[in-house]
Amino acid sequence: MNFAFPTPSVSALEIGPLTIHFYALCIITGIAVAIWLGDKRFKAKAEQGESIVAEVAITAVPLGIIGGRLYHVLSSPNAYFGKDGQPIDALKIWEGGLGIWGAISIGLFGAFLRYRMLQKKFNLPSFAVFADSLAPGILFAQAIGRFGNWFNGELFGGPLDTWWSLQVPLEYRPNGYTQFETFHPTFLYEAIWCTLIAVLLIYFGKGLKPGQVFAAYVFAYCFGRLFIEMIRIDAANTIVGLRVNVWVSLLVGLLSFLFFVRASKERSKS
């Protein structure tokens, strides 16, 4: 077996009666980075001194977490409501399980509602400009959040024996794979992909029409997630033999691509 980096042996830090789960810490850190970068980018575009992003985040972040959890539970119901499932576990967010599709859609909806309330008060630009400002920060947040899956020993791919493979303890290996020791670190693939997209959007998204940066983010993420999802071996519902998240990646990616192209054509006519 080649060199492989290990799955962390601990997933939480206990300080007296307080337990700090590293998964939750990764999510919180990612949110903080997204708010900081989004606020910096939006102020540069809107020439707005107020911390609008932080104000909007008060509404958008809780809704995003709720949406992410709902998507995860609804797309994996057997884990909570099946024969051996425990419904109360649906509330244990620190154990992992935040579906990005639910988090982004519900969180973005909450952001839109709050932004519209602030728009007239501060004479703000369109919501599309606001969403574009957030996109790279959201990607960095996703990248950081994926390391929470590493601490939880979850969401890895099929068997792999190479220098970048992930060593997974026996108790985390799914049925049918207990004889293997190292696997694809899909959490790392996604973290690298999200970081790459974020950097590209920051440097090459300045000339795009409002809304196109966010559309490019969604499309690029879906493109990468499509292939990463096919590597994963964790239990998941399927449709016509493909994981649900593969179909969602295809559908959402197609819609975002069509929006990007339409916006580009509208720009060329103006």
Span 202-243, pLDDT tens digits: 999 988 999 999 999 999 999 999 999 999 998 888 889 899
Helix (H) / strand (E) element for 165: namely none
Q: Rounded to whole angstroms, how far apart are CA atoms 43 and 192?
A: 27
Tell me how crowded residue 119 is: count the other CB atoms within 10 A of its CB. Answer: 15
Q: How confident is the model at residue 61 (pLDDT cuts 50, 70, 90)?
A: very high
Given a cut of 80, whether residue 75 has pLDDT beyond it is: no
Most confident of 4-13, 117-126, 175-184: 175-184
Helix (H) / strand (E) element for 20: namely strand 18-21
Half-sphere exposure of 216 (CA within 13 A, CB side): 24
The domain limits of the chain are 5-269
Given a cut of 80, whether residue 184 has pLDDT beyond it is: yes
Q: Which long-range contacts (CB under 8 A, 24 or more apart) does 50-57 make?
A: 50/122, 52/115, 52/118, 52/122, 52/124, 52/130, 53/130, 53/133, 53/134, 55/114, 55/118, 56/111, 56/114, 56/115, 56/118, 56/130, 57/31, 57/111
Q: What is the pLDDT of residue 147?
A: 95
Given a cut of 70, whether residue 56 has pLDDT beyond it is: yes
| pLDDT tens for each residue of 123-133 | 899 999 999 99
Q: What is the pLDDT of residue 233?
A: 92
Average pLDDT over residues 74-87: 74
Name beta bridge partners: 18.
15
Helix (H) / strand (E) element for 14: namely strand 12-15
Among 49-53, 94-98, 164-168, 196-200, where is mean pLDDT lowest? 94-98
CB 224 within 8 A of CB 195: no
What letter does residue 3 receive in the DSSP assignment? -
Task: Say which residue, 237 or 190, is predicted with more confidence.
Answer: 190
Given a cut of 60, whether residue 269 has pLDDT beyond it is: no
Q: What is the pLDDT of residue 80?
A: 76
Show the tokens assigned to 99: 């579906």
Total residues belonging to the chain: 270
Q: How confident is the model at residue 48 (pLDDT cuts 50, 70, 90)?
A: low
Reported pTM: 0.91
Q: How confident is the model at residue 1 (pLDDT cuts 50, 70, 90)?
A: low
